[in-house]
């Protein structure tokens, strides 16, 4: 009889644990979706940076992607990025014939994933800061190559423009950008360093408080 009771208790505990795990997973998925939505909203408040390429805009959507990745892992961060882009397409449509959305996905992953891979090896403030610093450098370098050899040429072919047209747009706001090389050195590279750098600093400041709140809600 005691064995039967013990077996029943163990089975009951396993069932309760399974139910709790499923409940936590559902909450986690909900928060990932919510973070993607907040990220899409943050994109609505984007704006150009003075003396930087006018076809690039600053926003803090990477804040939710990085924090979501810190909390739930790299896969969750990629899901947040995808949700953000899909919602942005629904809300505003595409102003770049789809090239901006492709670039957004590439650069978001280039920024977030290296940082998360470093952080999740050993979760400390130092590794978080180091990871975001590495992510900032990587995304800035990737942005130069993808813009010059993929996104801008692809968009130019679709819209009937040329690379010189993009250089002229940059020269109008910053005379130092007179060629493709100077556009990369004085425009694309510093823009992405600024954008990812600011996002990293803000993430470092607010992450701890927000993560405690989110994890507290999920564990209830």
Summarised one tens digit per residue, pLDDT across range 138-170 is 999 999 999 999 999 999 988 889 999 999 999
Q: 19 versus 101: which is more confidently predicted?
A: 101
The 10 Å CB-count burial string (b at 16+, else e) for 170-209 is bbeebeebeebebbbebbbbbbbbebbbebbeebeeebee
The pLDDT, as a whole number, for residue 215 is 72
Q: Any residues with CB less than 8 A from the CB of 140 and at least 6 apart, and which?
A: 189, 192, 193, 196
Mean of pLDDT values over 89-116: 93
Is residue 158 within 8 Å of 97, Cβ to Cβ? yes
Poorest-pLDDT segment among 21-30, 41-50, 94-103: 21-30
Query: Which letter, b or e, does each residue of 81-111 get, where b requires 16 or more Cβ atoms within 10 Å of its Cβ?
Result: bebbbebbeeeeeeebeebbbbbbebbbbbb
Q: What is the pTM of this model?
A: 0.87
Q: What is the pLDDT of residue 10?
A: 46
Return d(Cα 100, Cα 84) in angstroms, integer.
13
DSSP three-state, residue 49 = coil
- Tracing tokens 């505003």 back to the chain, one arrives at 92
Question: Could you tell me the residue ranges of all domains in the chain?
Answer: 2-219
Of 58 and 10, the one with more pLDDT: 58
- Rounded to an integer, the average pLDDT of 187-198 is 97
> What are the tens digits of pLDDT across the range 109-144?
999 999 999 999 988 999 999 999 999 999 999 999
Residue 212 · residue 167 · CB < 8 Å: no
Query: What's the CATH number of domain 2-219, 3.40.50.10420, 1.10.30.50, 3.30.1370.160, 1.10.1760.20?
Result: 1.10.1760.20
């Amino acid at each position: 009889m005691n064995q039967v009771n013990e077996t029943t208790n163990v089975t009951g505990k396993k069932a309760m644990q399974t139910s709790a795990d499923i409940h936590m997973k559902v909450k986690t998925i909900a928060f990932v979706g919510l973070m993607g939505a907040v990220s899409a909203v943050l994109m609505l408040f984007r704006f150009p940076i003075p003396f930087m390429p006018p076809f690039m805009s600053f926003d803090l959507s990477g804040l939710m992607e990085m924090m979501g990745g810190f909390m739930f892992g790299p896969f969750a961060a990629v899901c947040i990025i995808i949700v953000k882009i899909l919602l942005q397409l629904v809300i505003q449509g595409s102003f770049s014939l789809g090239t901006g959305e492709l670039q957004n996905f590439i650069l978001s992953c280039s920024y977030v994933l290296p940082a998360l891979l470093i952080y999740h090896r050993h979760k400390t403030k130092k590794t978080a800061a180091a990871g975001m610093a590495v992510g900032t450098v990587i995304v800035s370098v990737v942005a130069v190559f993808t813009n010059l050899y993929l996104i801008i040429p692809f968009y130019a072919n679709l819209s009937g423009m040329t690379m010189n047209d993009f250089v002229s747009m940059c020269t109008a706001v910053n005379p130092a950008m007179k060629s493709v090389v100077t556009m990369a050195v004085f425009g694309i590279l510093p823009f992405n360093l600024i954008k990812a750098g600011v996002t990293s600093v803000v993430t470092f400041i607010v992450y701890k408080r927000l993560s405690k709140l989110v994890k507290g809600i999920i564990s209830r």
